[in-house]
Chain A
Amino acid sequence: EAGVAQSPRYKIIEKRQSVAFWCNPISGHATLYWYQQILGQGPKLLIQFQNNGVVDDSQLPKDRFSAERLKGVDSTLKIQPAKLEDSAVYLCASSPLRGRTDTQYFGPGTRLTVL
């Protein structure tokens, strides 16, 4: 079974530029998550989708971050404009169902450096 795919793996941009990340979850997984992992910290949930609807975006900085999951499969996360503090690894995860005991499967992440 193919895992969660993410691209690009690395991205370097200057502050105030925009950037987009792409995620393809495991086939058939209804729930998709985007996490931000700052160096030295654990991942922090940014947004959660159930199919193509948003379940939780309480920690998404909506003035600069946006995300969508059209057709309930692939997802994109965008930052516009980027700030220095957005430098982090952006992780996408998916799970087959939505429940507190379900395993989330993580992609390899996109490492963003903002200069």
Chain B
Amino acid sequence: GNSVTQMEGPVTLSEEAFLTINCTYTATGYPSLFWYVQYPGEGLQLLLKATKADDKGSNKGFEATYRKETTSFHLEKGSVQVSDSAVYFCALSASNTDKLIFGTGTRLQVFP
């Protein structure tokens, strides 16, 4: 079945460090891929998405590229800030449905 695997956290970084959170997926066909973010005390928010192979989603300095050959959608940011501290969820919706399937989430902690 369809699934998403994320690297376990927490990821702890100093401010201005480079961030990578790995995400790989298993799905038939051509899923859409998403990164959602959950800031402390808030609801899930869409961070970025990509709907076809080689698409790059980007928002707030974060980027992720849809790599069909490696079934990956890794999240990257060149210079993190304390305000980026949150839980990040990778998710997919398969080609024949709009149902979101989430990974387990990765907590990012950024220290000054």
Answer yes or no: A87 CB below 8 A from chain B CBs: no
| Residue among B4, B36, B96, B98 with max Cβ neighbours from chain A (10 Å) | B98
Chain A residue with the shortest CB-CB distance to B89: A42
Q: Determine the interface band of chain A, counting residues with CB < 8 A from chain B.
A: 20 to 34
A88 on the B face (CB < 8 A): no
CB within 8 Å: A-B pair count: 60
Within 8 A of A (CB), among B42-67: 42-46, 49, 51
**Is there an interface contact between B49 and A103, defined as CB atoms closer than 8 Å?**
yes
Task: Enumerate chain A residues within 8 angstroms of B102, measured Cβ to Cβ.
Answer: 42-44
Chain A residue nearest to B93 (CB atoms) is: A100
Give the residues in chain A near B93, CB-CB below 8 Å: 100-101
Contact yes or no, B99 A41, CB < 8 A: no
Of B45, B89, B95, the contact of A100 (CB 8 Å cutoff)? B95
Chain A residues with CB under 8 Å of B46's CB are: 103-105
B43 and A107 contact, CB distance less than 8 A: yes
Return chain B residues, CB-CB under 8 Å to A103. Answer: 46, 49
Question: Which of chain A's residues has its CB closest to B4's CB?
Answer: A42
